[in-house]
Structure 1
Amino acid sequence: MENPVLSKKFPKFSELPLDKNGPHGNSWGLWGPEDQLGTLNHLTDEVVSLAAAENIKTGHRISLNWSMTGASKPRFPRKLLEQNVINKAPLKHAHDDEWSFNSQCSSQWDGFRHYAYQKESLYYMGRTAEEFAASPMYLKKGIAGRVVFIDWYAWATEQKGLEVDTMTSYAVPFSELMEALPFQGLDPESTLRPGDILLVRFGYLAQYEGMDDARREELDRRYQTSKPDNIGLQPSRELLAFLWDNRLAAVAGDSRSFEVWPCTEMDWHLHEWLLAGWGMPIGELFYLEELARHCAETGRYTFFLSSSPMNVPGGVASPPNALAFF
């Protein structure tokens, strides 16, 4: 079956920016003057249907959601979940609960109101932050489609024997993503197709959960006065061209930011290009440990993703409520 996205005339990366009066790299106007979905427009009904038919075979399901209280020590500079359990007395054996948390304290999708072109103070489609106020995050269709999972951490540590400290600004070059694909039995030239979602395991949450008490104390003290560093992809023109020209719908990983932090390649700063330029959601702190084990055991590194961000008008980010289906 021909992928329907292929039939749409689509500009090359070299043709960006589309709005010549806007900032570098933007694709503003590609899907119309009022667009709010960005690259999620690649997820047509036909693309999602095909992805489900090809990838849901056994019915096995894996949650990709980290605990809402996972970042307890070392603490990140965002509010963790506070839960207030309410006894429904005089009813017997009944409770409600109230939650309060930062939408980016755990697994999350960054929405288009999260990060602007810093110099121009403009968000996706040239909007200001206030213009997103009435818009639910990703509307009501959610994010669903075929995922290509790259377990870079397994490749780096098992195949290459690299020493990796994911709590530092360890920059993963684009070339190593391409090297990791054959390690998983995937062809870098033919694996990805329009509408896919790219998911990368950097090993961040594996190391977070496995660190000893002394390391936890050290980082907890450091994070009280400075923003945490973290592993991520090294921003580059080559990486951005790959994401755009393959017509990916979204990207995600298990680190605090999909790109290395702090970002040192400001010309290719992924948060600007993806969120403000293209309207491409960035997933962060996805829990990938059970997924990595299952993919290694079965030899399957593509699957169907169902993710339903919260329907919050004007939302900046959201828990992903993400499930992998095999």
Structure 2
Amino acid sequence: MVTEFGFCNLNPIRFGAMDASHTGTSNSEDLPSNWGRWGEDDQLGTLNLITAEARARGAAEARTGRTVSLAVPVRPAPLISGPFAPSTQDASPVQQMMVYVGSPAPAMADVMLVTNHHPRSTHLDALGHAIRDGRVYPGRPVDEAVTPAGARHGSTTAFAAGLATRGILLDLAADGPLPSGHAVTARDLEAAEERQRVRLESGDALVVRCGWPMTPDPERPMPGMSLDAVRWMHRRGVSLYAGDIGDAHPDLDPACPLPLHRVALPMMGLPLIDAAEVDELAAVCAELGRYAFLLTVAPPRIHGLTGVPVNPLAVF
């Protein structure tokens, strides 16, 4: 059964529908881009900015070994009537069935169906996930890059070696959640840097907290990243983005809707960790008086995925 729902389109033959109707009116030539910067076959995007120096900078932040998970907890739904796609954002992204194995030794095993791109699951978006003008990063036609059988280019396979760099938390909700419909700008991010006495450097991962759950509510417009903030990420050399704030729903700027998923990911090649849990991280940072840490992410080595659930770890 194929089901379409608000946060994802599961029909594999409708790639063309993801093109012009989702790009807004902004001219792609005026947008920040890394197409061609690391070659026509590049599948790492801004992860290329994680140099040995950047990794060493991150490793230096791991002083005590204290760890904090950035993943939201998931309670699976029972898989009792065959695989199906979640019909609403409130449905669990994981369906699970326990299986008894009697040979060669008694044991219990799991069968699971996982919906990767789901607002209630912390997941890593690979570079083949988002489309701009019929292409995925770095300009590869989407029908060449992604097929119904899986992604040939821009899949999570490119991240199999794992991600490790310095992470910087910019807590925009230290004094309370951001206002409804607030568009985060470069000024907001720089003000947080100054307040926390930290500066993001090229190759660092950016983690942002807004104090809102990442569950769209049409009755209460959520805050979101602006194109101005995405341009700032490009200038600063952000290698990876994570947070409890992403693209606003509904759109804050009709001229450039979904700037993270329609500009940062397909144009800049910036991998995104959607729906991160950052409240505990913010509490630990405030307790320790420092907002830098070693951030590690180890995606499972499954070929052909445009995204996968992950458990990012901040190490202090």
- Structure 1-normalised TM-score? 0.73
2:141 maps to 1:153? no
**CA distance 1:70–1:79, shift in 2 (3 Å):** closer
Are the equivalent residues in 2 in contact too, given 1:143–1:306 (CA < 8 A)?
A: yes
Cα pair distance change 1:183/1:49, threshold 3 Å? closer
Aligned-residue offset at 1:78: 6.8
Shift of 1:125: 1.5
2:61 maps to: 55
Offset of residue 251 of structure 1:
1.2
Of residues 108, 126, 130, the one that matches 1:115 is 130
Instruction: Please tell me whether the aligned partners of residues 196 and 249 of structure 1 are also in contact (alpha carbons under 8 angstroms).
Output: yes
Report what 2:23 is aligned to.
Answer: none
1:44 aligns with 2:51: yes
1:228 CA displacement: 9.1
8 Å Cα contact 2:45-2:268 kept in structure 1: yes
After superposition, the C-alpha distances for 1:126-161 in whole angstroms (9 at most, x for unaligned) are: 113343323441332222100110111114x2xxxx
Do structure 1's residue 83 and structure 2's residue 96 form an aligned pair?
Answer: yes
Cα distance per residue 1:1-38 (max 9 Å; x no partner): xxxxxxxxxxxxxxxxxxxxx75433211111211111
Cα distance in structure 2, aligned partners of 1:228 and 1:110: 26
| CA distance in structure 2 between the partners assigned to 1:228 and 1:310 by the alignment | 36
Choose between structure 1 and 2: higher strand proportion. 2
Which secondary structure does the structure 2 equivalent of 1:278 belong to? Answer: coil
Aligned to 1:95: 108
> Partner letter of residue 261 of structure 1?
H
Give the whole-Å Cα distance in 1 for the aligned partners of 2:90 and 2:287: 36
Seen in structure 2, the aligned counterparts of structure 1 residues 33 and 228 have a Cα distance that, compared at 3 Å, is: farther
Deviation of 1:115 (Å): 1.3
Distance 1:295 1:232 in 2: 23
**SS across alignment from 1:153:** coil
Q: Which residue of 2 aligns with 1:172?
A: 184
Corresponding residue number in structure 1 for 2:152: 134
Whole-Å separation in 1 of the counterparts to 2:161 and 2:219: 34
For 1:31, the aligned partner's letter is W
Which residue of 280, 304, 307 maps to 1:317?
307
User: Structure 1 pair 90/70, CA: closer, same or farther in 2 (3 Å)?
Assistant: closer
Question: In angstroms, what is the RMSD of aligned CA positions?
Answer: 3.0
5+ long unaligned stretches in structure 1? 1-21, 209-218
1:291 aligns with 2:281: yes
Question: Conserved in 2, the CA contact under 8 Å of 1:150 and 1:180?
Answer: yes
* Distance in 1 of aligned mates of 2:39 and 2:134: 21
Equivalent AA in structure 2 for residue 102 of structure 1: T
Letter aligned with residue 227 of structure 2: P
Equivalents in 1 of 2:178, 2:129: separation in Å?
Answer: 33
The 1-side partners of 2:124 and 2:265 are apart by: 11
What is the CA distance between 1:92 and its match in structure 2?
A: 6.5
Q: Structure 1 residue 182: deviation in Å? A: 2.9
Separation (CA, whole Å) in 2 of partners of 1:70 and 1:301 = 33
1:178 is displaced (CA, Å) by 2.1
What percentage of aligned pairs have identical amino acids? 28
* More displaced 10-residue stretch of structure 1: 281-290 or 126-135: 126-135
One-letter amino acid matched to 2:248? V
Query: Do 2:58 and 2:295's aligned partners in 1 also have CA atoms closer than 8 Å?
Result: no
List structure 1 segments (4+ residues) > 3 angstroms apart after TM superposition.
90-93, 162-165, 226-230
1:61-112 deviation digits (Å, cap 9, x = unpaired): 11111113399xxx51776210111111366652110111210221012222
Is the partner of 1:279 in helix, strand or coil? Answer: coil
CA distance in 1, matches of 2:220, 2:126: 21
Residues 1:261 and 2:249 aligned together: yes
